[in-house]
């Protein structure tokens, strides 16, 4: 089947067509033509004003499968990711059981031959993500795990952290950490500040993140290796990474919603805004924008953390942290684009996550396999229960009109096109 994308702006800094408006013909899963001609096609997508990039990649999607399928399973995650514009996702290991053997890695990846969205496995650093005993990381690497993390949990044990960095150097593996001092954050419900005091809620101080980042950077400097911090939120943590980048192999990401929201959104006790790390103050959000602009922040992730109603429709202090955000990712990018150039944003969700995981980077060139995302930054749509492909609905944007939508994705000889 021949599909013509008519007049999108190509965003791919490695392509000679970067920032140029071209027609792109896709034939049987490959890019057949790029140019100014009106190529014959079975289907034409009028893409004027849209942006065409290599397929978006999410570095750290929470999926509950196996064991927690009621939150999100592999197939619902793949459908949700495709609707959000992603062609590949890296799945966190916080399942039941956690991803700690070849069997779990194989279970996650074995369906990829028949999927539009490729699901990569991040494997556990410690057994059951408890931080107490290392997994067999070499075996997991050979089974196809692309990096190692305890996912939504920090690697809190200092000796385990150090040994992980040393162990992974045998195959140049990447350690991903969710930096958090669990004792300082114990029983915390939101960012510690004026608003937590007003609401009478136990706070989660910035220092809980800052201490973990500082300590783990010291360990990285001592042992060597490759370290990535996930979902950073505080201004000081970003600055610590900025300074460390000058002398060691460290990178970081933020959840796409983190620089767009702050702790004032929790004043009505809406549990959809309860996340970890918590929404902080405007000064922190501004620091994240600066980190995106100057390259300190390498990757923008979705932060997608689905929960069923029974985990969210509770008193605030009983609700689990997290929001679904794969499908609203593009709309959040549109808001970010008011402060950060599109070229920078796209690089952080396409090229950079693949570089960190040492995966092949798709190309926008003739004869290349089509791994593409077509995004319309002006498209108005309503994110509601009908349009939501996730099994969960814990999103502050549910029921609201948003701007920006992925209109088509292409990958693995397959495609999804919005009607």
DSSP 67-105: T-TTT--HHHHHHHHHHHTEEEEEE-S-SSS-S-SHHHH
State the pTM of this model: 0.97
For 197-215, the pLDDT digits (tens) are 999 999 999 999 999 999 9
- Whether residue 176 is contained in a domain is answered as yes
| Structural domain count of the chain | 2
Same domain, 47 and 154: no
For 384, residues 6+ apart whose C-beta sits below 8 A from its C-beta are 398, 399
Same domain, 254 and 342: yes
For 272, residues 6+ apart whose C-beta sits below 8 A from its C-beta are 312, 323, 394, 395, 396, 398
Same domain, 284 and 259: yes
Same domain, 129 and 255: yes
CA 254 to CA 298: how far, in whole Å?
Answer: 9
Same domain, 25 and 99: no
CA 167 to CA 157: how far, in whole Å?
Answer: 15
Q: Cα separations (Å) of 315 from 235, 262, 274, 320, 353?
A: 30, 20, 12, 10, 36
DSSP 100-167: -SHHHHHHHHTTGGG-SSEEEEEEESBGGG-SSSB--HHHHHHHT--EEE-TTS----HHHHHHHHHH
Residue-number span of the structural domain to which 386 is assigned = 2-51+365-390+404-417
User: What's 7's domain CATH number?
Assistant: 2.30.40.10
Yes or no: say if 356 and 228 are a contact pair by the CB < 8 Å rule: yes
Measured between alpha carbons, how far apart are the two ends of the chain, in Å? 17
Same domain, 16 and 116: no
Yes or no: say if 242 and 229 are a contact pair by the CB < 8 Å rule: no
| pLDDT over 90 percentage in the chain | 100
Yes or no: say if 317 and 20 are a contact pair by the CB < 8 Å rule: no
User: What's 286's domain CATH number?
Assistant: 3.20.20.140
Confidence of residue 415 (pLDDT cuts 50, 70, 90): very high
Confidence of residue 256 (pLDDT cuts 50, 70, 90): very high
- Whether residue 182 is contained in a domain is answered as yes
Model confidence at 241: pLDDT above 90: yes
Yes or no: say if 260 and 323 are a contact pair by the CB < 8 Å rule: no
Q: List phi, psi (to 5°) of 107.
A: -60, -40
- Whether residue 398 is contained in a domain is answered as no
For 83-114, the pLDDT digits (tens) are 999 999 999 999 999 999 999 999 999 999 99
Average pLDDT of the chain is: 98
Model confidence at 237: pLDDT above 90: yes
Same domain, 93 and 44: no
For 154-173, the pLDDT digits (tens) are 999 999 999 999 999 999 99
269 DSSP assignment: -
CA 100 to CA 69: how far, in whole Å?
Answer: 18
Same domain, 7 and 128: no
CA angle 277, 393, 334 (to 5 degrees): 65
Same domain, 301 and 372: no
Give the pLDDT confidence score for residue 419 in this predicted structure: 82
Same domain, 121 and 207: yes
- Whether residue 314 is contained in a domain is answered as yes
- Whether residue 396 is contained in a domain is answered as no
CA 148 to CA 167: how far, in whole Å?
Answer: 11
Same domain, 276 and 371: no
- Whether residue 341 is contained in a domain is answered as yes
Give the count of alpha carbons within 13 A of 390, CB side only. 27
Tell me what the mean pLDDT of segment 398-406 comes to.
98
Give the pLDDT confidence score for residue 64 in this predicted structure: 96
CA 108 to CA 99: how far, in whole Å?
Answer: 9
Tell me what the mean pLDDT of segment 255-266 comes to.
98
- Whether residue 8 is contained in a domain is answered as yes
Same domain, 332 and 229: yes
For 39-97, the pLDDT digits (tens) are 999 999 999 999 999 999 999 999 999 999 999 999 999 999 999 999 999 999 999 99
- Whether residue 154 is contained in a domain is answered as yes
Model confidence at 134: pLDDT above 90: yes
């Amino acid at each position: 089947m021949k599909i013509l994308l008519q007049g999108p702006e190509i965003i791919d800094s490695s392509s000679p067509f970067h920032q140029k408006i071209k027609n792109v013909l896709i034939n049987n899963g490959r890019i057949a033509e790029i140019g100014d001609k009106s190529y014959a096609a079975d289907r034409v997508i009028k893409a004027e004003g849209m942006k065409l990039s290599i397929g978006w990649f999410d570095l750290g999607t929470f999926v509950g499968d196996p064991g927690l399928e009621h939150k999100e399973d592999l197939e619902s995650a793949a459908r949700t990711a495709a609707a959000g514009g992603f062609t590949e996702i890296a799945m966190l290991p916080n399942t039941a059981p956690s991803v700690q053997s070849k069997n779990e890695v194989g279970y996650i990846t074995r369906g990829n031959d028949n999927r539009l969205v490729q699901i990569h496995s991040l494997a556990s650093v410690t057994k059951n993500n408890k931080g107490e005993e290392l997994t067999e990381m070499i075996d997991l690497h050979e089974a196809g795990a692309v990096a190692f993390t305890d996912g939504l949990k920090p690697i809190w044990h200092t000796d385990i952290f150090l040994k992980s960095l040393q162990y992974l150097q045998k195959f140049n593996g990447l350690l991903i950490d969710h930096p958090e001092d669990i004792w300082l954050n114990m029983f915390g419900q939101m960012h510690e500040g004026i608003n937590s005091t007003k609401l009478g809620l136990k706070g989660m101080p910035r220092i809980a993140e800052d201490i973990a980042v500082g300590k783990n950077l010291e360990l990285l400097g001592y042992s060597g290796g490759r370290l990535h911090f996930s979902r950073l939120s505080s201004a000081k943590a970003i600055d610590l990474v900025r300074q460390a980048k000058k002398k060691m192999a460290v990178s970081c990401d933020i959840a796409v919603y983190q620089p767009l929201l702050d702790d004032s959104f929790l004043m009505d006790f809406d549990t959809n805004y309860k996340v970890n790390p918590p929404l902080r103050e405007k000064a922190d959000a501004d620091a994240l924008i600066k980190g995106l602009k100057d390259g300190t922040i390498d990757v923008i992730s979705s932060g997608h953390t689905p929960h069923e109603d029974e985990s969210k429709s509770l008193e605030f202090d009983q609700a689990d942290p997290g929001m679904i955000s794969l499908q609203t990712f593009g709309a959040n990018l549109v808001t970010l684009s008011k402060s950060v150039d599109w070229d920078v944003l796209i690089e952080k969700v396409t090229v950079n996550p693949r570089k960190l995981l040492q995966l092949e980077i798709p190309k926008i060139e003739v004869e290349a396999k089509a791994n593409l995302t077509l995004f319309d930054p002006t498209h108005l749509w309503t994110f509601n229960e009908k349009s939501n492909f996730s099994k969960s609905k814990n999103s502050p944007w549910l029921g609201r009109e948003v701007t920006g939508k992925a209109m088509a994705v292409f990958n693995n000889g397959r495609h999804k096109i919005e009607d």
